Amino acid sequence: MYRPKTTLEQWRILQAVVDHGGYAHAAEKLNKSQSSLNHAVAKLQNQLGVQLLEVVGRKAHLTGPGEVMLRRSRHLTQNVQALEELAFNINQDWEPEITLVADLAYPRELLFPVLKAFYPESRGSRLRILDSVLTGTEEAITQGSADLVISHALPKGHLGEPIAAFNFIPVCHPEHRLAQITGEIDPNELSQHLQIVIKDSSPSPNEKQGWLRSESRWTVSQFDTAIDLLSEGLGFCWLPEHKVKNLTCEGELVKLNIKGSSFRKLISYLVQPKPDDIGPGTKLLYDLILSNRQVV
């Protein structure tokens, strides 16, 4: 079994000598005697068989090998500090990892400011942000597989705070046959055309939402793929209005005027699947998301 020749304290002393410009200032900063610092660095060099510092005048300067080893030593001491902080956070019930499941349709521009505010306060917690769709989002709530869930549906027995509202609209390419129909489009006409749908992220999807009557359907996993297909003149699709707003304004896609349903309004809810077992990091993220919610 390998046993280190050096100690973390020796590397910290070397870093202090370099950072503070010499032994005297480092000794004052560390509240140690200058001779003890000299001894520690000399012993470190002897143990390694490498000269790390050379004294020029009254200042200690790094050698070439010393620069490389000092840089690597900083990673070592930073990792140890992060490890110790993680242990402290665990003792304080601060979660080492937080999982946020967000329905794919939820506007990510609402989430980015939250994440920027959360990061400096996250205490090193790892954050997993998982995209989900339809039944997959609901299962993250009912199965308790996430700490927080942004969903457009509230399963029975669960509560959620409304945080955003937006529309799904049917769109297609301006040269598509559906776009040539004047006036309202009969829903029966839609069933004769290719429909692009977004894949449910659940292993056992329950197709109970949306209009799915087309005989011909292509399934994709991302909105961007659906938009690419539409842009090539293939099919029609219901998409979040905020995802295609620029394209419809520029005339690259057109909104369909369907009789009885020209849009579907969805509300996003922020859900705590395990409200009695929420940690301080999750609570902080929850509060930040609420503080950045739209007026619903």
Helix (H) / strand (E) containing 73: helix 64-91
Per-residue pLDDT band at 25 (split at 50, 70, 90)? confident
Average pLDDT of the residues of the chain: 88
- Residue 206 has a pLDDT of 63
How is residue 258 annotated by DSSP?
A: B
**Cα 107 to the chain's mean position, in Å?**
13
Residues 19, 23, 27, 30: is their CA dihedral positive or negative? Answer: positive
- Residue 53 has a pLDDT of 86
Two structure tokens written together for 200: 């449910």
Two structure tokens written together for 113: 């400011």
The vertex-10 CA angle with 7 and 12, nearest 5°, equals 110
Question: CB-hemisphere CA count at 13 Å for 20?
Answer: 17
Give the list of residues 6+ apart from residue 284 with CB closer than 8 angstroms, or none.
118, 121, 122
CA 153 to CA 207: how far, in whole Å?
13
Q: What ranges make up the beta strands (E) of 106-227? A: 126-132, 148-151, 161-172, 195-198, 217-220
61 φψ region: left (φ > 0), alpha (ψ -120 to 50), beta (else): beta
Per residue in 44-97, pLDDT (tens digit) is: 989 989 999 887 776 778 899 889 998 888 888 888 876 776 666 566 678 889
Identity (one letter) of the amino acid at 171? V
Identity (one letter) of the amino acid at 137? T
Between 215 and 292, residue with greater pLDDT: 292
Between 83 and 197, residue with greater pLDDT: 197
The vertex-248 CA angle with 245 and 254, nearest 5°, equals 135
What would the mean pLDDT of 207-234 be, rounded to a whole number?
A: 82
What would the mean pLDDT of 210-223 be, rounded to a whole number?
A: 77
Per-residue pLDDT band at 200 (split at 50, 70, 90)? confident
Closest CA to 227 of 239, 212, 219: 239
Q: The tokens 């004294």 sit on which residue? A: 55
Instruction: Calculate what percentage of the chain has a pLDDT beyond 70.
Output: 92
- Residue 113 has a pLDDT of 96
* 27 SS3 class: helix
Per-residue pLDDT band at 182 (split at 50, 70, 90)? confident
Q: Does 196 score more than 60 pLDDT? A: yes
CB-based contact 127:176 (threshold 8 Å): no
